[in-house]
Structure 1
Amino acid sequence: MTAQFFAPVAAPQHPRAAFADRHIGPSAADRDRMLAAIGYSGAKALIDEAVPAAIRTARPLDLPPALSETAALDRLRELAARNTVLTSMIGLGYHGTITPGVIMRNVLENPGWYTAYTPYQPEISQGRLEALLNFQTAVADLTGLPVANASMLDEGTAAAEAMALAHRASRRKEPGRFLVDADALPQTIEVVRTRAVPLGIEVVVADVSGGLPDGDFFGVLLQYPGASGAVRDLAPLSAQAHERGATVVVAADLLALTLLRPPGESGADIAVGSAQRFGVPYGFGGPHAGYMSVGDDLRRQLPGRLVGVSVDVDGAPAYRLALQTREQHIRREKATSNICTAQVLLAVMASMYAVYHGPEGLAAIAQRAHRRAAEIADGLRRGGVEVVHGAFFDTVLARVPGRAAEVVAAARERGVNLRQDGPDRVGVACDETTLPEHVTAVLEAFGVPAGDAGEVAGAIPADLRRESPYLTHPVFHAHRSETAMLRYLRRLQDKDIALDRSMIPLGSCTMKLNATAEMEPITWPEFANVHPFAPVDQAAGYVELIGELEANLAEITGYAKVSVQPNAGSQGELAGLLAIRGYHASRGEEHRDVCLIPSSAHGTNAASAVMAGMRVVVVKCDEGGNVALDDLHAKIGRHGDRLAAIMVTYPSTHGVFEETITEVCEAVHAAGGQVYVDGANLNALVGLARPGEFGSDVSHLNLHKTFCIPHGGGGPGVGPIGVREHLAPFLPNHPLRPEAGPSGTGVGPISAAPWGSAGILPISWAYIAMMGPDGLRAATEGAIIAANYLAARLAPHYPILYTGRNGLVAHECIADLRKITKETGVTAEDVAKRLIDYGFHAPTLSFPVAGTLMIEPTESEDLAELDRFCDAMIEIRREIQRVADGGYDREDNPLKNAPHTAAQLIADGWKHPYTREEAAYPLPALREGKYWPPVRRIDQAYGDRNLVCSCPPPEEFED
């Protein structure tokens, strides 16, 4: 057969080949149609009209040109290759773990899980709520305390939150003293100190191995096992603390608790820690799910997210967020915590790790880690090396006078990182990944021949061994095969609405595309498997990536310096306010403690201000949703000499570009205060305006919003802060990593890890690199166009509450249902639940104004999806009109009964005065891909009255 040869032909350029064109949903032609519907001939005309000239930047973004997806991934591979992945036996709260492939692919790498939103609408969140309930059950069982949350940000911040909880429980008015075990993790000690300073709490660090020191303390933090590896009986220390009226907090290793007596059985009131070693990679420090569990007497003061069991209108069991759901938005400066983002995706992974392995599997993993440690201890002793502690779980501390650096260097030559503890001691931590060859390498590094370990005695005292059962619920026994596990994950995923199913039009939350090319690098071993305290030269690629990302974010925002350490937006708020506090103190103005906050602000703003030691003074907003200048000037006049800062969200939480923002900044600066601009809505500014140029001194940025880190069901998040030059000395720093922040003047660590959730920073780096300066600006314009198009389509049917110049909005709009509710009885919640029948997640409900829906379409949704949402909202408005006209009963109609389940529709005896078809298929297009909610409307109040926060027995789910 004769070969045929063809002349090379240039590959045709796809009309949407650039990444920005794939990220931005509408095509050029679609954008023209959208602009025409709004009443503008082009994007420039709309932007010039919508965005005030006073805030517009005079210079374009000075960023490298956009890279293709392939080029960006190639560049990330170069950076990854500059990291050196050794076997880390450093410990300090971070351990090697193996993520089961079925969890890696079907949770971490699955958009059905990572693009989901916080489960504020529980009817379409039953899958992730069940996974989080599994997490709470596992934590409660392992710690021996009955109520656990889901979840905290990391172990350090969990300990700091526990300190605050202990202080509330003490009911003391004075700050008081908090005692911390000297054998606690060093980063935890420093995070606790950072959080204690603005609250006036005195942190006392002491060796408690011989008992508690003298003095009065409202709380005590103990580490179990200690950072040194020591395992000791906590019961005597707990008894001493309780005799003095102190609350006992135990920072515990979950895996160790499969073998050790749980803290709850040793007198602990609160347990905190990390679930990282339950299948979540190092990620150079995060993200990892922290945990907190408490006794029954503290359950209603527990900070963070708490999943509870309730019932739907038919009495069927259903899950929902309990008690603390958005309580920081409701209670504001009286909130018990500023936590908004949790680490949901990581908590789901950890929970599934427990489901996958079950109690026997977890115990076997713990036994292997313990045996490896015992083998090392035995070999060291046989070689004449002193082992400091006779009782330990997985960490051996050896004393080698004057040789610690030599041993650590020798181990590194053999591919193992150990921990140097001063000149004379070396720590060796074993884990799930520790193999016999690692034991050999460690012993050789100490100059000890390995030999045959043979029978090795355990190092857990008999009286501290666990005897109580754990993970007894059937869910931890039913999914042993990969087939069963795969189907369980799929079954839970199918219960939920995530961004892979439809748009999530949540105001203030920016649920936009999390591109596969952005997500792919986070699971590469060179990024996933680097210990946060490995020698910094082993993380050269990470350091370079972080430096480039911080520089790019500084250029985008107009600030002098950015820190990526805060691992949530709420923590960014706190870091920014602490920087302001540090700046005032450096000028001898410690008395400045008043923080002005507009009444429209995010609730976390007020909570963060209180945590930063400030007094909140609320500034009124006018009828247009803008900061009321007369009230602002009055409050400045009243508090000017004590004014520390103002916190404003821009564009405002009401979804408008306030014309007077520069005047607000000038007035605060004139009084000696600083301006904090909440960066939650930065998606409406990138490429058009820079907060650091129009008057702001500091902002936090939500990388899980504007810069494409996925929400993951409520977390992970990253909340870096950008500051002007005068605040740069007061950014976060870290005791174990001088490179991570300003030495001497920094405010201390905000998170346990030096660069926070570094493992997901490649996502935002890739987004910026692939969008380039022009793409980033186009995305901002696209978000503003989409919001105004949606407002224009909905305005004839629903009043749009706040608008700026010429009736325009920023990147989101608020549909006002209050008049409709008054006339028909149909509430904003009814509309939110009815949208489920149309296959949509609801917009933000009743925030920032009760009785409204705040809608943000984002630039990633194409015109067809925007129209599909508008069609649903318009059809719902027709249904409301039928209620008003008497065509539907005011109490028994598709809106009041929404959402409708398949079980409800196929059941005998349909008794409603509307048809099954009207209930399930209000629009013909729904027949092509109907989403069926697993439960009907959930009774929220019942769940709070009957608080159940762990897996209920299977009998409750029987018909």
Structure 2
Amino acid sequence: MAFQESDYHPYDFANRRHIGPSPAEIAEMLAVVGAPSLDALIDATLPADIRQAAPLDWGPGLSEQGVLHRLREVAAQNRVLTSLIGQGYYGTVTPPVIQRNIFENPAWYTAYTPYQPEISQGRLEALLNFQTMICDLTGLDVANASLLDEATAAAEAMALAQRAATSKAGAFFVDRDCHPQTIAVIETRAAPLGWRVIVGDPFADLDPGAVFGAIFQYPGTSGHCRDFAGPIAALHGAGALACVAADPLALSILEPPGEMGADIAVGSTQRFGVPVGYGGPHAAYMAVRDPLKRAMPGRIVGVSIDARGNRAYRLSLQTREQHIRREKATSNVCTAQALLAVMASMYAVFHGPEGLRAIAQRIHRKTVRLAKGLESLGFAVEPEAFFDTITVEVGALQGVILKAAVAEGVNLRRIGATKIGISLDERSRREHTQAVWRAFGGDMRDRDLDHEYRLPETLIRRSPYLTHPIFHMNRAEAEMTRYMRRLADRDLALDRAMIPLGSCTMKLNATAEMMAVSWPEFADIHPFAPADQAAGYAELIADLGDKLCAITGYDAISMQPNSGAQGEYAGLLTIRAWHAARGEGRRDICLIPTSAHGTNPASAQMAGMKVVVVAVAANGDIDVADFRAKAEAAGDRLAACMITYPSTHGVFETNVR
């Protein structure tokens, strides 16, 4: 029997599955707007002189199955070893109930920023749980709903300290035992603003009168657990503020920063069930004393009542100071790592205080057994008191031991020329301990059942935490599933309806794209793993970089910024460095239209530039005459201009050229 050949492609990933509208729906919409075709609509929308002359040529598109097959090939190029590198990134166990119901659930990963509380009650409650968790663990009064990463949070703490301290000193002190990436970001942020960064030993090199603030790592990147109450008191005596970068899991058994007198605490909640994922994203945190809450970057969820008098959540304090202070702002942060903060908060709900304490104690006992074994082999292990990280002096054997460890399937941390760092975590097992011993030349079995502790007695935590009933609910999987479902039902996400809002917030990523995020080949690669273990990541990054260069017309792309505002800042720093390299460091004026997003002038100020505001016409277009006049007035001090394109009004302006 004859039949008509179908031209329907059931596996057309882009056009049929991802974009959404069917050909019939597209035709109906075109009829409503009076356009004969999509090409005609684009011709009427985009000025011809700014359009690309030829389409992008990346070859034919792939089906969903083709995409997943290709991703499997790329993932296979990554080699997943057990990474005991530490340095702020640790193995963690994501409870399956959280992975399935939060991490892989579009009800959570496609929801829009919770500006409208009436359609965001679920996420707002989960984020309030996050804030409560952070306040309890740090011993401070107020926490925000997360920041981008620990290093950025530390730099934000420096800026907060400079703004709030009574000291007029021009330097900031950094504990040399901070993670190297934290020190690097702080130095980068301080340079354009003329703040001097002093890196040293807080107990030997800190001059409280010479700084407006200081940051200490707790526990330190080398493993030290120190009581910073003395240095903090000295800072307060000089009118400076103190920040502690603290591991929240360690705080379940160690004295919290607030009890040491710290004004600010920052850190990462990555090890609360969020995979390392080659460096992120992860939810950082910031907590402060109550008087500092209005200077804290980010957003804060609070409890209110609705029109019927019922308990309700809302963004009760959203500093977003760049929208008010603009070029006077000290921060350009206007976002959060909400999905990862939700995961971390659910990890705390899932385990409760008893669970967190038990996990921390188990990790510490494993580290003690590891240290005892290395000491029995004749190696010097430091420090004497630690939580989960030790540093081993190995002399000229460093390279041999690191290579032997890789052969055993373990990555260790190279420190200087003669030391090796080792950090254990929730996923560490006896076979990992024995593999490390073998790499160091030992052949022992991990049979030590002695519950020995090497925590400093004076820093053992005695105060309660996670006392709210939500952290004491029935933790059966069924109850957890129902709780997360109840919260999801109070939100509006793309699994329920279209969200007709613009801005820079992530829209719907195709499921086929999201699946790979959970694969171990991508999720379990440590950011400081040897490059030859991350060849798949390198291919992905290079391929995306090439495509972005083709789209934008630039020669190179940086994948480092983890938000739009951070991208602005990185671009402005690049411009600043380019001028300096050409001997034109005097160029410091940035032209920005009044219609620009508030992060634009904030980023320019943070990059050490002076913002000159350009007028806009009634329809939102840039006033070219005013732009030209301001540029001429700036003369040889003109460094850059920042233009949102299309404009905040959604228009592709023809006069941008």
Q: Report the counterpart of residue 329 of structure 2 in structure 1.
A: 335
Distance of 1:75 and 1:42 partners within structure 2: 34
Q: Does 1:308 align with 2:302?
A: yes
CA distance, structure 2, for counterparts of residue 11 and residue 154 of structure 1: 54
The reply to whether residue 289 of structure 1 matches residue 261 of structure 2 is no
Q: 1:486 to 1:620 in 2, by over 3 A?
A: same
List per-residue Cα deviations over 1:444-489 (Å, max 9, x = no partner): 2112342432425211011110000000000001031101100000
Instruction: Report how far residue 209 of structure 1 moved.
Output: 4.3
The alpha-carbon deviation at position 629 of structure 1 amounts to: 1.1
Which of 643, 650, 654 pairs up with 2:649? 654
1:516 to 492, 511, 517: 511
Paired residues of 1:257 and 1:466 also in contact (CA < 8 A): yes
Residue 158 of structure 2 corresponds to residue 125 of structure 1: no
Amino acid at match of 1:160: A
The one of 38, 46, 60 equivalent to 1:43 is 38
Q: How does 1:67-82 map to 2 (within 5 A)?
A: 67-82=62-77
Which amino acid in structure 2 is aligned with residue 406 of structure 1? V
1:140-219 alignment runs, 5 A limit: 140-171=135-166, 176-210=170-204, 212-213=206-207, 216-219=210-213
Deviation at 1:211, TM superposition (A): 6.0
Q: Which moved more, 1:112-121 or 1:64-73?
A: 64-73
Whether the 8 Å contact between 1:335 and 1:607 is mirrored in structure 2 is yes
Q: Distance in 2 between matches of 1:19 and 1:592?
A: 48
1:440 aligned residue: 434
Q: Distance in 2 between matches of 1:479 and 1:409?
A: 46
Structure 2 residue 378 is matched with structure 1 residue 384: yes
> What amino acid sits opposite 1:458 in the alignment?
Y
Superposed CA deviations along residues 629-654 of structure 1, whole A, max 9, x for unmatched, are 11111211221221111111111111
User: What's the counterpart of residue 108 of structure 2?
Assistant: 113
TM-score w.r.t. length of structure 1: 0.67
Task: Please say if residues 264 and 289 of structure 2, whose CA atoms lie closer than 8 Å, have aligned partners that are also in contact.
Answer: yes
Separation in 2, partners of 1:126, 1:327: 24
Deviation for aligned residue 1:13:
5.7
- Aligned-partner Cα distance in 2 for 1:458–1:505: 56
Alignment deviations for residues 333-372 of structure 1 (CA, whole Å, 9 cap, x no partner): 2334211221000000000000000000001110111011
SS in 2 for 1:578: helix
Query: Share of identical aligned residues, percent?
Result: 61
Is contact 2:11–2:64 with CA below 8 Å preserved after alignment?
Answer: no
Tell me whether 1:467 sits opposite 2:462 in the alignment. Answer: yes
Does the CA contact (< 8 Å) of 1:403 and 1:423 recur in 2? no
Work out the CA distance in 2 between the residues paired with 1:525 and 1:237. Answer: 42
Q: 2:208 and 2:467 mapped to 1: Cα distance?
A: 41
What amino acid does structure 2 have at the position aligned with 1:421?
I
What whole-Å deviation, never above 9, does each CA across 1:92-147 have from its counterpart, x for those lacking one?
00000000000000001000000001110011111000000000011110011111
Counterpart of 1:592 (choices 577, 587, 592) is 587
- Is 2:94 the counterpart of 1:103? no
Measure the CA separation in 1 of the matches of 2:628 and 2:167: 36
Equivalent runs, 1:254-293 vs 2, <5 Å: 254-293=248-287
Q: Does 1:232 align with 2:226?
A: yes
Distance 1:35 1:167, change over 3 A: same
SS state at 1:562 partner: coil
The worse-fitting range, judged by mean Cα deviation, of 448-457 and 497-506 is: 448-457
2:134 pairs with 1:139 = yes
Report the secondary structure of 1:40's partner residue: coil
1:352 match: secondary structure: helix
Tell me the equivalent position of 1:580: 575
Per the alignment, residue 411 of structure 2 pairs with: 417
Could you tell me which runs of 5 or more consecutive residues in structure 2 were left unpaired when the two chains were aligned. Answer: none
RMSD: 1.8
Q: Which amino acid aligns with 1:222?
A: F
Matches within 5 A, 1:1-16: 14-15=8-9
Following superposition, the deviation at residue 48 of structure 1 comes to: 1.8
Q: Distance in 1 between matches of 2:37 and 2:59?
A: 27
Offset, 1:203: 0.6
Mapping 1:552-951, distance limit 5 Å? 552-662=547-657
Contact persistence 1:596–1:617 (CA under 8 A): yes
In structure 1, stretches of 5+ residues that fail to align are 1-6, 663-959
Distance 1:510 1:170, change over 3 A: closer
Deviations 1:16-72 (A, max 9, x none): 531122222222233223222222222222222221122111222132321111111
The answer on whether the counterparts of 1:404 and 1:422 sit within 8 Å (CA) in structure 2 is no
Amino acid at match of 1:181: D
2:54 aligns with one of 56, 59, 67: 59
Maintained 8 Å contact 1:499/1:511: no
CA 1:282/1:11 → structure 2, altered by over 3 Å: closer, same or farther? farther
Does the CA-based 8 Å contact 2:135-2:143 persist in structure 1? Answer: yes
- Supply the distance in 1 between the matched residues of 2:203 and 2:75 (Cα, whole angstroms): 43
Query: Does the CA-based 8 Å contact 1:211-1:237 persist in structure 2?
Result: no
AA paired with 1:82? Q
Note the alpha carbon deviations across 1:467-521, whole angstroms, 9 max, x for none: 0000000000103110110000000000011111111011334664321111110
Post-superposition offset of 1:322:
2.3
Cα distance in structure 1, aligned partners of 2:114 and 2:396: 54
SS in 2 for 1:323: strand
Distance 1:520 1:10 in 2: 36
In 2: Cα distance, 1:462 partner to 1:511 partner? 47
Cα distance between partner residues in 1 of 2:567 and 2:651: 23
Check the 8 A contact 1:146/1:293 in 2, yes or no.
yes
Task: Give the distance between the partners of 1:399 and 1:484, measured in 2 at CA.
Answer: 48
Cα deviation, 1:840-892, whole Å, max 9, x if unaligned, reads xxxxxxxxxxxxxxxxxxxxxxxxxxxxxxxxxxxxxxxxxxxxxxxxxxxxx
Deviation string 1:274-327 (CA, Å, 9 cap, x unpaired) is: 000000000000010000000112111111111111221233221111222544
The answer (yes or no) to whether the contact 1:596–1:619 under 8 Å persists in 2 is: yes
| Structure with greater Cα Rg | 1
Q: What is the alpha-carbon distance in structure 1 between the residues aligned to residue 319 and residue 256 of structure 2? A: 29
Aligned twin of 2:444: 450
Distance 1:403 1:599, change over 3 A: same
Helix, strand or coil: the match of 1:402? helix
Trace 1:471-486 onto structure 2 (pairs within 5 A). Answer: 471-486=466-481
2:362 is matched with which residue: 365, 368, 371? 368
CA contact (8 A) 2:295 2:319 kept: no
TM-score norm. by structure 2 comes to: 0.97
Q: Helix, strand or coil: the match of 1:308? A: strand
From the superposition, tell whether residues 172 and 45 of structure 1 become closer, same or farther in structure 2 (CA, over 3 Å).
farther
**Equivalent position of 2:342 in the other structure:** 348
Query: Displacement, 1:10?
Result: 13
Contact 1:301 1:336 in 2 (8 A): no
Aligned to 1:249: 243
Q: Is the CA contact (8 Å cut-off) linking 1:106 and 1:486 kept in structure 2?
A: yes
Does structure 1 conserve the Cα–Cα contact (< 8 Å) formed by 2:276 and 2:527? Answer: yes
Q: Quick one: distance in 2 between partners of 1:544 and 1:511?
A: 23
**Could you tell me how far apart the structure 2 residues matched to 1:118 and 1:246 are?**
35
User: What is the CA-CA distance between 1:262 and the residue it aligns to?
Assistant: 0.5
Query: How far did 1:244 drift?
Result: 2.2
Summarize deviations over 1:893-945 as a string: whole Å, max 9, x none.
Answer: xxxxxxxxxxxxxxxxxxxxxxxxxxxxxxxxxxxxxxxxxxxxxxxxxxxxx
**Residues 487 and 325 (structure 1), Cα distance of their counterparts in 2 relative to 1, 3 Å cut:** farther
Alignment-mate amino acid for residue 33 of structure 1: E
* Paired position in structure 2 for 1:876: none
Displacement of 1:214? 7.2
Equivalenced residue count is 654
